[in-house]
Structure 1
Amino acid sequence: MASRKRVFDLLRTIDKASCQCPAHSYRGNFHVSNATPVLDYTFEIKNSTVRYGIGVTQEVGLDLVNFGAKNVCVMTDSNLVSLKPVKSVLDSLTKNGVNYKVYDKVQVEPTDTSFKDAVEFAKKGNFDSFVAVGGGSVMDTCKAANLYYSDPEADFLDYVNAPIGKGKPVDVKLKPMIALPTTSGTGSETTGTCIFDFEEIHAKTGISHNALRPHLAIIDPLHTFSMPEKVANYSGFDVFCHALESFTAIPYNERGPAPSNPALRPAYQGSNPISDVWARFCLQTIQRHFSQSVYNPDDITARSYMHLAGTMAGVGIGNAGVHLCHGLAYPIAGNAKTFVPKDYGEKPMIPHGLSVVVTAPAVFRFTAASDPEKHLEAASLLGADITGKKKADAGDVLADTILKYMEKMKIENGLSDLGYTSKDIPKLVKGALPQSSAYLTNRWMVSPLGFTSEDNPKFKGAFRLIVI
């Protein structure tokens, strides 16, 4: 096992040049002393209020009345604005006498430019609350608009994760925000993170702080009927990887150092008994309902379970964390060239759920040695027969299980199907290396490799093997 000194040498490095991984939340700047630090001994669960039920959207107008809202910014995208989810929200607002304006220009897989456009709309509106109706792109855009509306003098890069931005903590009070997801996967309705492509460097990054969490997440399964097949498919694999990664993350009491102040405890705390409950629920739900929800879209039971699983996975990752699949996904999605997915428009892009699952078989084959029992349990929860399987079999068992799901759900066969060639590997590896926070939640990276910096040849070699 790697020495503690090596691990905390890396933590000091990351503290000076914080991770740009868009999925992790702001951890605060803290000093790591030269003394041997004590590993953390506790975990905490932070979360938006979650309300779930068929038809529950009808209550959103009353919620805004309860907030004292007088002028609401409703954000959505150009496809959803004419569909039933948005109509249901606006009907509830009208019925309860709540004034609103609609911004329907949210870009799928948003960029810094599209974020800024939404911010400018918000600044002109004199809003006292925000409502997001859509998938992760809509909810993330709405969070950014709320933040910069609430701090109108801030420069855009002030809050963007370091090292791309300044990574400043949020010390302004944001307006109340309600999120109504229409896809089943991102979990953005419960997290304090908003993700975007920073066009200048062709890489994904984000803005992360607990203050960005929506005040209320309204989870209405009726909205999933607006979700096309491929959107349901790829977003379902986001749930899939959220659950697997948080379940196999380093245990909270093996992560360190323990913070000098509880306010400095990172959002990515490692696996813990509560996040494990959500992960197990999600994996069981996937085993029972994922395929049915995609290929039988009128099955309200299957779509309801997957919709709830998306939120519960968000609770899990928002507190335990994700690791290698997501760390590798950002350069895969950020460097999309020719791949145009069905149901997502006409521009080249790689949907987030696809970008995370495409490396999952290789990832979990590698990471199984760090915690074979949990990897075997995960495979079992997904329906694999693990009778007689040994710890040494864990990686292959889980990898084969994931591959069976990918084949059944007709997922593209590796990076070559996404438009990449072997010549792209160095660029993808380079883009993956800075996502340090995602790797520090993985036992396999911290212990067996024993890396002391991102330049360690073992570290690069490991990613080269996984990405290929």
Structure 2
Amino acid sequence: MGCCDFPAVAQGCDGAFTVDSSRITFGRGCLAELGDRAGALGMRRVALFSDAAVAELGIFATARDSLLAAGLDVVSYTDVHVEPTDTSFAEAARFAQEANPDGYVSLGGGSVIDTCKAANLFATYPADLLTYVNAPIGEAKPIPGPLTPHIACPTTAGTGSEVTGIAIFDLLSMSAKTGIASNALRPTEALVDPDCTASLPGGVVAAAGLDVLSHALESFTARPYVHRPAPPRPNLRPMSQGANPWSDLGCQEALRLLGENLEPAVRDASNSAAREQMMWAATLAGIAFGNAGVHAPHGMAYAVAGLVRDFHPAGYPADEPLVPHGMSVIVNAPAVFRFTGDVSPQRHLQAAGLLGADTRDAGPEDAGEVLATELIRIMRAVGMPNGLSGVGYTEDDVAALTEGAFPQQRLLQNAPREMSKPVLADLFRQALRYW
């Protein structure tokens, strides 16, 4: 769709959109370019962030050796917490303050990249954690200026964090996820090497891939940018601008790639072509939602992940309960898209068709159900739990889930329909079980 396909600018709303992204290098083997890229950015002392699992892989040695070969001093931090918390962010920030690097490299999934973003921020502009956190949970104060250069190297086809200015974490005191959103957090460069996903187990590929799918779907169906209130000044235009012509391009291609490649990539680790296409879909969807924003499935997911009690997914560390981010999002998605289908039925049907659904006989009144049915089919095909009940929740948890999701106003206000507390409660009930 182009600009002319969007509604007219609503009174008091914005008539323009902004496109931002990290510089991107994509291709097999490009991780070996890391040292040259870092040197070109003026880095001399580099903080290399990763997690304990990735640090044992050959790709960590590849990254470190490339930096050392370029004559750079490297200090490593491999204690990143899977699904970061306010505590783990603070520990990473202390490391960064003591190491005093002039550049950062993150090698890992979204948890690693987000932790590196936070460490960079709080080492550069020390403050209480909630100073920069999204309102109403935090103060949402603007980041005072630019951060130290950061090269992000994703090892999962999922979060898109390598091209966004968003860092997500669990706020332990609230048992809910929240985050910091600012263009200043966006990594300077991204090295996207599909070879980094070769060793991932199918369950991790599935959860990460469904996060990509949700990024694309939510950005594509978000309220149009011309329905967002105009900012008081142009430089205050938010990253979550709503669906726009630029984000639509990435969303549509990402959905097409996911429809063709998600299931093969999950089933067969040796299918390098499918995993490469998944990596490209993740990058496209990351750029899209980094400029359009996601909405209700992600807002609900923060409560689903934050209130987990005893769920332990295959392929992830078993030392503590965990609902992986992509899983916590997708369990809400069919219920949400059933609800939003009548707002933009053509977009919902187009998305379903790109994912593989037969939409030839579907009318506008069928849009939400057709898309929800296709999502449920994909969930079952890649081994996702049966809704919220599959990760340990019951009807008794609906009130707590609703209270945990409602503060995520940055996301909920981007939805095409109002997400009041009664609406959220009803959506959580519908998401308890799908089959």
- Please classify the TM superposition score into its range, dividing by the shorter chain length: over 0.9
Partner of 1:342: helix, strand, or coil? coil
Amino acid paired to 2:78: D
Amino acid paired to 2:235: A
| CA distance 1:460–1:314, shift in 2 (3 Å) | closer
> What value does the CA root-mean-square deviation take over the aligned residues?
1.5
Per-residue CA distance 1:126-179 (angstroms, 9 max, x = gap) = 210000000000000000000111123x22222222233222101133110000
Mapped contact 1:37–1:256 kept (Cα < 8 A): no
2:296 to 324, 332, 343: 324
Amino acid paired to 2:297: C
Amino acid paired to 2:321: P
Runs (4+) off by over 6 Å? none
Per-residue CA distance 1:362-406 (angstroms, 9 max, x = gap) = 111111000111111111101111112111111111111111101
Partner of 1:116: helix, strand, or coil? helix
Moved more, 288-297 or 330-339: 288-297
- Report how far residue 42 of structure 1 moved: 1.2
Partner of 1:329: helix, strand, or coil? helix
- Report how far residue 461 of structure 1 moved: 5.3
Show the 5 A alignment for 1:286-365. 286-346=258-318, 347-365=320-338
Amino acid paired to 1:323: H
Show the 5 A alignment for 1:391-430. 391-430=364-403
Mapped contact 1:180–1:218 kept (Cα < 8 A): yes
Structure number with higher relative contact order (C-alpha < 8 Å, ≥ 6 residues apart): 1
Partner of 2:13: helix, strand, or coil? coil
- Report how far residue 445 of structure 1 moved: 2.2
User: Does residue 189 of the first structure (1) align with residue 162 of the second (2)?
Assistant: yes
2 CA distance for matches of 1:363 and 1:412? 17
User: Does residue 374 of the first structure (1) align with residue 350 of the second (2)?
Assistant: no
User: Does residue 41 of the first structure (1) align with residue 15 of the second (2)?
Assistant: yes
Per-residue CA distance 1:223-248 (angstroms, 9 max, x = gap) = 01132221111000001111111111
The residue aligned with 2:106 is: 132
User: Does residue 433 of the first structure (1) align with residue 406 of the second (2)?
Assistant: yes
The residue aligned with 1:14 is: none
2 CA distance for matches of 1:43 and 1:103? 37
Mapped contact 2:402–2:425 kept (Cα < 8 A): no
2 CA distance for matches of 1:247 and 1:430? 26
Mapped contact 2:178–2:408 kept (Cα < 8 A): no
2 CA distance for matches of 1:336 and 1:461? 17
Count of paired positions: 422
1:268 to 240, 245, 256: 240
Partner of 2:82: helix, strand, or coil? coil
How high is the sequence identity, in percent, across the aligned residues? 44
Mapped contact 1:74–1:100 kept (Cα < 8 A): yes
2 CA distance for matches of 1:67 and 1:390? 53
**Which residues of structure 1 form unaligned runs of 5+?**
1-35, 447-453
Show the 5 A alignment for 1:138-287. 138-152=112-126, 154-253=127-226, 255-287=227-259
The residue aligned with 1:118 is: 92
Per-residue CA distance 1:87-117 (angstroms, 9 max, x = gap) = 1111111211111011000000011111111
2 CA distance for matches of 1:399 and 1:72? 45
Amino acid paired to 1:264: L
Amino acid paired to 1:44: T
| CA distance 1:313–1:148, shift in 2 (3 Å) | same
Mapped contact 1:182–1:226 kept (Cα < 8 A): no
1 CA distance for matches of 2:142 and 2:211? 28
Mapped contact 2:399–2:425 kept (Cα < 8 A): no
Normalising by structure 2, what TM-score? 0.94
